[in-house]
Amino acid sequence: MEFPEEITKEKLSIGCGKKYFNLLLIFVSLLFSLILFEFYLRIIKYPYQGCEEVQLASESWLGEFNKATGWSYKKSFSYYEDNGKFEYHFDKNGIRVESENYEINHDKKIIAFIGDSVTFGEELSFKDTFPAKIGELLGEEFEIVNLGVQGFGTSQSMIHLKNLISEIRPDFVVYTFIPDHINRDINYDRRIHVKCLDFNGTKPVFRIVDGQLKQIRKPKLYKTVDRFKLALFLDDIYQISKEREQIESGDAEKITKEIINQISELVRNNGAQDYYIYYDNVYDTSIYSYNDYLVKYIFDGDKEDKVFNFTNWAIDSQTKGKKYYVNDEDDYHPNASLSAEIAKGFFNKFKDHFLD
């Protein structure tokens, strides 16, 4: 039995209409679910969920957003701690200096120190930091420039140095490495790992692509990143997965190593000499320790003789009960006493290189 052509077309039209309606229904349902999840993330204040209080990281209230490094210190700015324990001063370029209105003396040999809060001198006055103490041991013919910035990884230190090296014109550059820099170098948003702290922005991220170090992400202000919570949530999931993959494969170590190679090349191309400090608070003195492996892997080749390995000092703290940290809640940042030990060890190993 055959149906009239008009009836057949009508049935096809109804079938197609129903199909499109179902697709539209699925789309609307999905869109509604995404909107609900966006509202849910906002209600729980993602990514600060579970935080009774969100505090500004010190590098945030001391600093400002920097489109190259993510953050840097305020220019021509001073901070005095309430109880007078320490003070911070920053020059016209946001570089930590000894006192207000201090200007770098280019008539002296300049040693630029790059790194994070360990180099910067967390909760220490300038004179108590190990860069300043190294300067004291070397003598008045040397000018110390402290380019350390709290929270920095290796890539940020490299970019920071690159932006300032032509103005500073250093004769020597010393980079202080800590093992956590490997994690920082593959991380885009610090809030994934440091909960309940607010920062000025995200970070630059590098990857090795076709054997070359390439920047794949640039820093952004958090007000831009946080505009859509769902997009932030999905990006965080991707970041966590990617970071885990890179750590397990060993790619994270390779990235940091290549960044350090770039630092070395940058320094030497500008007529300076590069040196390194490897710092950690470990107690393990075994020849099979991770730090012993890492210092040999990261600083191989001609850098092997330019690194001061300061990783087993904590055994002294453990056996003798010495206090080496800046406060009772801190288990990493060296106080003035430990800073002096770092300076003495570095000076004893490399004094002939600097005083030649």
**Mean pLDDT over residues 282-302, rounded?**
78
**Mean pLDDT over residues 183-212, rounded?**
95
pLDDT at 318: 61
The per-residue pLDDT for range 307-328, each reduced to its tens digit, is 999 886 666 666 655 667 777 7
What is the DSSP pairing of strand 77-80 with strand 96-97?
unpaired
Which two structure tokens, joined as six digits, stand for 84?
A: 């007078």
The per-residue pLDDT for range 172-193, each reduced to its tens digit, is 999 999 999 999 999 999 999 9
**Environment class of residue 220 by beta-carbon count within 10 Å: exposed (0-12), middle (13-18) or buried (19+)?**
middle
pLDDT at 305 > cutoff 90:
yes
Of 306, 327, 308, 324, which Cα lies nearest the Cα of 316?
324
Give SS3 for 224.
helix
pLDDT at 339 > cutoff 70:
yes
pLDDT at 83: 81
Quote the CA–CA distance of 162 and 155 in Å, as a whole number.
11
* Range list of H helices, the chain: 5-43, 58-61, 117-120, 130-138, 154-168, 180-185, 222-225, 229-249, 251-269, 290-298, 314-320, 336-355
**Mean pLDDT over residues 98-105, rounded?**
93
Q: In which residue are the tokens 């010190």 written?
A: 58
pLDDT at 331: 73
pLDDT at 292 > cutoff 90:
no
pLDDT at 74: 96
Are 110 and 104 in contact by the 8 Å Cβ rule? The answer is: yes
The per-residue pLDDT for range 32-46, each reduced to its tens digit, is 899 999 999 999 999
pLDDT at 153: 98
Q: Quick one: DSSP state of residue 217?
A: E
pLDDT at 4 > cutoff 70:
no
Instruction: Give whichever of 83-87, 131-135, 334-338 has the largest mean pLDDT.
Output: 131-135
pLDDT confidence of 9, banded at 50, 70, 90? low
pLDDT over 70 for what percent of the chain?
89
pLDDT at 112: 99
Of 223, 211, 287, 201, which Cα lies nearest the Cα of 255?
211
**Mean pLDDT over residues 129-142, rounded?**
98
pLDDT at 267: 98
pLDDT at 342 > cutoff 90:
yes
Show Cβ contacts of residue 140 under 8 Å, excluding neighbours closer than 6 positions.
Answer: 108
Of 138, 139, 156, which Cα lies nearest the Cα of 147?
156
CATH of span 55-355: 3.40.50.1110
Are 226 and 232 in contact by the 8 Å Cβ rule? The answer is: yes
pLDDT confidence of 89, banded at 50, 70, 90? very high
